[in-house]
Structure 1
Amino acid sequence: MKLNLGCGRDIKPGFVNLDYMPLPGVDVVADLERCKDTKLPFENNTFDDILASHLVEHITNILPLMEELHRIAKPDGLLMVKIPYGSTDDAFTDPTHVRQYFRGSFGYFSQPFYWRADYGYRGDWKPIRIELHLFDHFKEMPYDEQMLAVDTYRNVVREMVVYMQAVKPIREPLANLQIKPEIVFV
């Protein structure tokens, strides 16, 4: 099964389309901000694929949501997150965006990153690939120069697409278990 989170009007055939508004084509109405108090209406280990396109930047309580998504994902299930890159104007322009994300942000949805502190988060997503969609004038640069530009300037990356895999059972919070994802410029 596949889940399309925060689908809005982007109804995808073959997916369970979830939104907080009962729009035409929405299969499930649920408030993703309330995952700390209310579970999503799905059984454990239900979904092979979860899509969150331009959603997580709108969520204030992201850790409860990511933990709940981990619960409903099958072991090794994939989560694809599309998001404006944190240092692009798009990340700040929309007043409903509550947080900016960068290429290192998604490791914090895995247990190995909590070796220093415990915030009560019990999900474990292994980031496996990060695509950085560059603005055109950065596409022809050598890789090292692209990476330097991403880390130094604003408006280098237009959009980030992160692919994560559900790890079940969750790993220990040990720094040596951290895995660096593949970084690809698109």
Structure 2
Amino acid sequence: MVSSEEMQPAGDTGGIKLNLGCGKVIRKGWVNHDIMPGPGVDLIYDLESCGIEPFPLPDDSVEEIHASHLIEHIDRVLPFMQEMWRIARKDCRFELRVPFGATDMAWADPTHKRPYFIRSFDYFQQPFYNFADYGYRGDWGTDQVTFLIPKSVAGTNTAEELMHRINTERNLVAEMVVNLIAHKPMRPNDRALITLPNVNLNLV
């Protein structure tokens, strides 16, 4: 395993790109993280430890984060998102790929902790907490949500019709891709500041 200093070349003013829960999908030029050692894994850390021990990267050091089918496996999700916000630079982009909550894939895997829907990510932005305090200190605004829909089930529906089907049917969406942006400094608890995502429908 390499140190955080070695992950960023000397004189490089760009931030770290972090590939969370990489498994066997190693990204060249990225810091590849996993819970287990393996070929190409740079950083080993149990994400359930977030909030107990720091993720081994400095504050404000990461410019981009990618996590594919990871967050649904995390039980302590608010400490995880808070810790990712700590290491993120201002305007860091965080791409999360997840099974959509209204699909069998979101529920069938016994290691999944919870399903995710389009509004699930509101809980990771600080303005949402004008009504309660869960102890979460982080601020990820939802920039964009993309639903990947198989052409075979989309048929000739318009975008409006597809959105209605997404909200009322099961097993229509193959995958949901969510792009978050780190707001720094953290915004106040004012619901007027909540960012609503642009929604894209991609036929695959």
Normalised by the size of structure 2, how large is the TM-score?
0.89
Q: Distance in 2 between matches of 1:165 and 1:173?
A: 17
- Equivalent pair of 1:56/1:62 in contact (CA under 8 Å): yes
SS in structure 1 of the partner of residue 72 of structure 2:
helix
- Say if 2:62 is the partner of 1:52: no
Query: Equivalents in 1 of 2:142, 2:113: separation in Å?
Result: 22
Note closer, same or farther for the CA distance 1:141–1:159 as it changes in structure 2 (3 Å cut).
Answer: same
Structure 1: state its 5+ residue gaps.
none
Q: Give 1:140's aligned residue.
A: 156
Q: Tell me, what secondary structure is at the counterpart of 1:128?
A: strand
What is the CA–CA distance in structure 1 between the aligned matches of 2:121 and 2:138, rounded to whole Å? Answer: 12
Which residue in the other structure is 1:68 paired with?
A: 83
Query: How far apart, CA to CA, are the structure 1 residues paired with 2:84 and 2:60?
Result: 9
> In structure 1, how many angstroms separate the alpha carbons of the residues matched to 2:150 and 2:99?
12
Letter of the aligned partner of 1:123 in structure 2?
Answer: G
Corresponding residue number in structure 2 for 1:181? 197
- Amino acid across the alignment from 1:108: Y
> Counterpart of 2:6?
none
Which of 127, 140, 156 pairs up with 1:125? Answer: 140
Aligned length: 186
Q: Write the distance in 2 (CA, Å) between the matches of 1:114 and 1:140.
A: 40
Q: Identity percentage over the alignment? A: 45
Aligned to 2:111: 96
Specify the alignment match of 2:26 in structure 1: 11
- Deviation, 1:139, is 5.6
* 1:165 lines up with 2:181 in the alignment: yes
Q: What is the deviation of 1:140?
A: 3.2
Structure-2 change in CA distance of 1:14 and 1:59 (3 Å): same
- TM-score normalised according to structure 1 size: 0.97
Do residues 43 (structure 1) and 58 (structure 2) align?
yes
Aligned partners of 1:2, 1:143: CA distance in 2, in Å? 34
Q: Could you say which residue in structure 2 is the equivalent of 1:151?
A: 167
Is the deviation greater in 163-172 or in 88-97?
A: 88-97
Indicate the structure (1 or 2) with the bigger Cα radius of gyration: 2
Alpha-carbon distance in 1 for matches of 2:174, 2:104: 9
